[in-house]
Structure 1
Amino acid sequence: MELNNTVHTLKKTNTRWMIVVFLFIVTAINYGDRATLGIAGKAMQGELGFDAADMGWVMSSFGIAYVIGQLPGGWLLDKFGSKRIYFCSILFWSIFTLLQGTVHFFVGAWAISMLFTFRFLMGFAEAPSFPGNSRITAAWFPAKERATAVAIFNSAQYFATVIFAPIMGWLTHEYGWQSVFFFMGGVGIIVSFAALFMIHNPKEHPWANEAEVQYIAEGGALVDMDQKKDSTGKKQGPKLSYLLQLVSNRMLLGVYLGQYCINCLTFFFISWFPIYLATERGMNIKAVGFAAAIPAICGFIGGISGGVFSDYLMRKTGSLSIARKTPIVMGMLFSMTMIFCNYVDSIALVILFMSMAFFGKGVGALGWAVMADTAPKEMSGLAGGLFNMFGNASSIISPIIIGYIVAWSGRFEWALVFVAGHAFVAAFSYLILVGPIKRMELKK
């Protein structure tokens, strides 16, 4: 009893917020690497000689590998822990990002094939990144702070555009498109080694005191996630026999559908949006980098706002369903304002409507908070991988469909309708299909 009282009187450390800042940095690099083709794509098309449909297939190569890698990545996280797999993921995706800058040494179909291959390998290496983020957040944050924490690292996808799009646009203009891949790959390789110092389990982190660990444990954090051992003293891995329970749960199926639709908006903004500005609206590549940063700033603000609003609702109502569903549904409906771009000629109005849409998308992008709230504690990594696999199926399908829509029509009007329709379906899924949000208990 005396020890317990002593722990409660200690001033707790705030290492968990340093962890989420690091996740933010890693996620910003993650999305910066994904966005390289959006910035360098027009120059690459001109030099390497492929059209919008070819670009759609190259963009989808990332999604194909990313989806394939989700279940193995989640299994590896549960088996070997977050630290080692997170480090390897960052290191290898950064190497394959850098190698994309070498495809100019090839010609014709070989150039496209090598770009497809490096993009594919980058996607496979990135597969454990977001399940890792979710897993680390579930271990480090109590439920009443979790949405804010997830919103911080998830909002890095917008911040990535704010920071990296102008840099990549300038690099493309001054030094050629190859420099974009060399720069982004180099930054990622450096950051990968920082993960070895930053990522630890709460009970093992040298910067977290016992008061902080007890605080987050009492709030529902899974602080023992990577410390479970079986009767032989070995770390337990996930039981694949539980997989059927995950894919047959109505709540999770609704969450999966919602994430699929939300990711369609994400991949439009990080891949096709800069190309839309350059081709449909006639902006030069240097201006595109800065123009694309404006909606991204709004997305960043929306993302943080959505997380803070969700945790506010959680404290006020005590209901995960109200706290998570309200910002998701409101944000998705608001993001449909992108359709108004089809009815204006002014670049300023286009940026305004896209900024409104990006803000709404940011507010509603709480899928990973829902995942951290609902994933079974026995297989958080695999559950996150399955969630991300369903969600990122849109990274395969949507770039190809948008590419063919643009190639067929020569314009982006129906592509914007296609993307906005996904926002509506996401809102419907959370409002009607998901039902009560709670942590899933596996049947033994």
Structure 2
Amino acid sequence: MEPVNRGDKKTRVRYGMLALVFINVVINYLDRSNISVAAATFSKDLHLSSVQLGLIFSAFGWTYAFLQIPGGLIADRFGPRILYAFCLITWSLATLFQGFARGFASLFALRLATGAFEAPSYPINNRIVTSWFPDHERASAIALYVSGQFIGLAFLTPVLVTIQFYAGWKGLFITTGLVGLVWGVIWYLFYRDPLDHPRVNQAELEYIEQGGGLVRKKTATSHTSVWSWGNFKQVFSSRTLWGVYIGQFAVNATLWFFLTWFPTYLVQYRGLDFIKSGYLASVPFLAACAGLLLSGFLSDNLVKKGRSVGMARKTPIIIGLLLSVSIIGANYSNDTTMIIFFMALAFFGSGMALISWVFVSILSPKHLIGLTGGVFNFMGNLASIVVPIVIGYLARGGDFKPALIFIGALGLIGACSYIFLVGKIERAPVPDNEQERALLSANE
């Protein structure tokens, strides 16, 4: 469908679409992190050990990570409007049913289901931003929608704590599940791709496309199937992409500590009051949001000033990963203020590094953005499996210090990956056979 508004002054519909994605991310992370708020209570009610709790924390990651590649392929095949609505509704149902879990097995299974249905979400986010935003606005756009995970958690964690205080952990899961179900319907009613939106005009479409936005991105067809071994070889054989994959694992290691063990760390290992911990837990999320927004706008500003893409995109990420190592500082203080300071500084750095999704838009072959995003998110979200389980084992004797050293060491490894593995920043070319196949498809 052609856009109906064709005024000379370009519209700004892309920002409205970004706002919808922002809310998707808020809900996405509420349903990932509500388990951490509920853990201190349900672990006692269900008589779970620290190792069992670590396994439950990791359950989301098992399906979420291993379905990233299929999720990316699905994002290349189906439009964001229908696919995202389906994902929102199904993962919200899985969240709601967690309120009826009766033991380790049922809660573990429902967390697996939540991860499975959330799997396509970030490849879809990346596809939306790639089609709606030109290159020079993309890091800022990514920073804005990713900030939803921190803004939402910073301001809503105290709300979640309050809901649990009055309605219990079961009421917490039911409430967050119902919110997602309602939003899934709203998303379907309001989202459209660029060429299908009735309010976008030709000036905005040309602005996006001339700036490198893939306005005319088509879903995969039988002529250009993304399921070939050649396509997989492309996204797994690049040293640059491997550097980005390893870096993303390190970024997500810090993130998943905060999404899973952080509230339990404050309550059980630092002896803080449950309600107080809910408010203190919001501080690092605000810091991460500030780091993310600073990094996104700084990176885009460097591009606009003519700095190389590699310098503009990599520098904030490397600085952020190095700052995330400061989480180890919490091991050397018993003062609550200093503990929260080190946590906030580390998460500020992790937030800076989260503009790394921009490399999927920059580096991936144009016909494999969803697949590359899926592989990128798969490699990064292996941390959602490894980190909660490793922390559960490291902390089983009652000492959390080794766990924080583990997180800090991963941050250092991530910084080294960007410094030594990520080389020249340029989009991977389409192989000759793919170019010929696309040409034949266009002529038929």
CA–CA distance in structure 2, aligned partners of residues 80 and 227 of structure 1: 6
Match of 1:3?
none
CA–CA distance in structure 1, aligned partners of residues 351 and 18 of structure 2: 18
CA shift in 2, pair 1:210/1:129, >3 Å:
same
TM-score, normalised to structure 1, is 0.93
CA–CA distance in structure 1, aligned partners of residues 363 and 60 of structure 2: 27
Among all aligned residue pairs of Structure 1 and Structure 2, give the percentage whose two residues are the same amino acid.
36
CA apart distance, 1:228: 6.7
Alignment: residue pair count: 427
What SS does structure 1 have at the residue aligned with 2:395? helix
Match of 2:439?
none
TM-score, normalised to structure 2, is 0.93
Match of 2:12?
14
CA shift in 2, pair 1:296/1:31, >3 Å:
same
Q: 1:200 aligns with which of 192, 196, 204?
A: 192
CA apart distance, 1:81: 2.0
What SS does structure 1 have at the residue aligned with 2:138? helix
CA–CA distance in structure 2, aligned partners of residues 400 and 228 of structure 1: 37
Deviation track 1:15-45 (CA, whole Å, cap 9, x = no partner) reads: 1111111111111111111111110001001
- Letter paired with 1:87: A
Deviation track 1:66-101 (CA, whole Å, cap 9, x = no partner) reads: 012112211111112222211111111111011101
CA–CA distance in structure 1, aligned partners of residues 291 and 363 of structure 2: 23
Q: 1:139 aligns with which of 127, 131, 143?
A: 131
What SS does structure 1 have at the residue aligned with 2:281? helix
Please say if 1:438 is aligned against 2:426.
yes
Deviation track 1:179-206 (CA, whole Å, cap 9, x = no partner) reads: 1111111111111112213332211111
What SS does structure 2 have at the residue aligned with 1:221? coil
Deviation track 1:42-64 (CA, whole Å, cap 9, x = no partner) reads: 10011110011001111111100
CA–CA distance in structure 2, aligned partners of residues 237 and 188 of structure 1: 32
CA–CA distance in structure 1, aligned partners of residues 264 and 385 of structure 2: 18
What SS does structure 2 have at the residue aligned with 1:365? helix
Deviation track 1:141-186 (CA, whole Å, cap 9, x = no partner) reads: 1110000000011111211221221111111111211111111111
Q: 1:396 aligns with which of 385, 392, 400?
A: 385
CA apart distance, 1:230: 6.6
CA–CA distance in structure 2, aligned partners of residues 263 and 337 of structure 1: 16
CA–CA distance in structure 1, aligned partners of residues 207 and 151 of structure 2: 30
CA shift in 2, pair 1:246/1:229, >3 Å:
closer
- Letter paired with 1:257: I
CA–CA distance in structure 2, aligned partners of residues 227 and 416 of structure 1: 43
1:34-433 alignment runs, 5 A limit: 34-103=32-101, 106=102, 111-226=103-218, 237-241=225-229, 242-407=231-396, 409-433=397-421
- Letter paired with 2:383: S
Deviation track 1:382-439 (CA, whole Å, cap 9, x = no partner) reads: 11111111111111111100010000x3121111110011111111111110101121
CA apart distance, 1:318: 4.3
- Letter paired with 2:74: L
Alignment RMSD, CA only?
1.5
Q: Structure 1: any 5+ residue segments left out of the alignment? A: 1-5
- Letter paired with 1:62: F
